Amino acid sequence: MNSRRLPFLVLLLWVGGAFAVGAQANSQAEDRERIELAGLARGPAIVGGGLFFGEPSGISAKLWFPESGFGFDALAAWSFQDEGSVYLHSDVIYHLALIETAGGRYVVPSVGLGVLGRLGDNGSVGVRLPVALSLFLFPSVPLELFGEISPGVGIYPETDEEFGVGLGVRFYLPVQSR
């Protein structure tokens, strides 16, 4: 087997496992309320901002609609690949399940689909498939700790593989409805 294909095979198996775990956990979560995030999820949406460390590293933002499980995230960052460049991405995310643990803590697996862009002399555009696992460890503080891997495909100016991985933290605030 080609050594360049091995990481993608491992990733494909990991994504398949995440879907299976999420489907099982989601069937258990349907009978109870969605995540409360220290009471902030009472409105229609919550917004989070924070930092993402890895490849790429930068500032992360997320708009989450807890009742539906959908959300949007964006990252403005610096990529260390090739000669380095400004990196931007935006994703539509679906939270597969809200798994409540002891003491009101939550584990939240999610998957998504998004676009990415690199700015500069070697600019490019591509698509990405992020898979993430979020932890809400503090019941009274709306703080998300998360890890993400995101395989993708560059589509312009040439077709090539993309891969991102990292750890992040976000703090959430409510979005007030009128």
Task: Burial-class residue 145 by CB neighbours within 10 Å (0-12, 13-18, 19+).
Answer: middle
Average pLDDT value for residue range 107-124: 92
What is the third-level CATH fold of 6-175?
Answer: Porin (2.40.160)
116-174 confidence digits (pLDDT tens): 999 988 889 999 999 999 999 887 888 999 999 999 999 999 999 999 999 999 999 87
Hey, where are the domains in the chain? 6-175
* Residue with more model confidence, 9 or 130: 130
Judge whether residue 15 has pLDDT over 80.
no
pLDDT of residue 112: 97
The answer on pLDDT for 28 being more than 60 is: no
Structure confidence at residue 174 (pLDDT): 76
Cα gap 133→53, rounded to integer Å: 15
If pLDDT is split at 50, 70 and 90, which confidence band does 37 have? Answer: low
Closest to 73 measured CA to CA, from 140, 172, 178: 172
Coarse DSSP helix, strand, coil percentages of the chain, rounded to the nearest 5 percent: 15, 55, 30
Per-residue pLDDT reduced to its tens digit, 63-96: 998 888 899 999 999 988 878 899 999 999 999 9
User: Which pair of tokens denotes residue 85?
Assistant: 């460049």
